[in-house]
Chains A and B, each alone.
Chain A
Amino acid sequence: DVKVTQSSRYLVKRTGEKVFLECVQDMDHENMFWYRQDPGLGLRLIYFSYDVKMKEKGDIPEGYSVSREKKERFSLILESASTNQTSMYLCASSLLSGGTNQPQHFGDGTRLSIL
């Protein structure tokens, strides 16, 4: 089974801090994704990456950046955390081959609170 591991289940940070969320997958997937999940809004894509050092903006990239130095690891960075970034963050990965038929595999999420 594919395993997507997010480094923290719960995280509390202060306004203005630089925050790193880490995600690792163990199935050699090319694609990796970061979403945030908010009540009433569902999942919204922040950034995704289809290869090492490659990235594309999703629907809500403002205030975030990402890093993919190795294929198995995809980091989300909050450059200067703000209270409106309090949310559940979900990482996912998928195979490139087979195109859009490939499902995404999700981690258990990081619940981030910015005080």
Chain B
Amino acid sequence: GNSVTQMEGPVTLSEEAFLTINCTYTATGYPSLFWYVQYPGEGLQLLLKATKADDKGSNKGFEATYRKETTSFHLEKGSVQVSDSAVYFCALSDNSGGSNYKLTFGKGTLLTVNP
């Protein structure tokens, strides 16, 4: 079956530090990959996505590249801000089966950025 493994948190950084949150996946077929962010007290918001190998998704200074050879989709940001404090979820959508609209989520990584 499909699965997503992301680094366990919590991750605590100082403002302007470099961020990497690792995400690897197992899937049949050719999945689409997503990063979602959940700010305190809110639902999940799509942060970025990539739909095929070597695609790079980017938004709000965050980037992630779809690496088929390493089955990875690591999230990076060059300089984090306090406002980036949130829980980040890696997810995949697999188009190989009948239930091809479902997302499989990682367990989430809590990021705290201190001023």
Which A positions have Cβ atoms within 8 angstroms of B? 4, 31, 33, 40-43, 45, 48, 50, 56, 58, 90, 92, 94, 96, 99-109
Contacts and interface: CB of A to CB of B under 8 A. Distances in A.
B93 interface: yes
Interface residues of B, number: 25
B43 A50 contact: no
A36 B21 CA distance: 23
Interface string B73-114: 000000000000000010001110001111101111000000
Interface of B: 31-32, 34, 36, 41-46, 49, 51, 89, 93-95, 99-103, 105-108
Given A4-B43, A40-B107, A50 B102 contact: no
B99 A56 contact: yes
A31 to B, nearest CB: 5
Q: Which of B41, B94, B100, B105 gathers the greatest number of chain A CB atoms within 10 Å?
A: B105
Given A42-B89, A43-B89, A48-B102, A100 B94 contact: yes
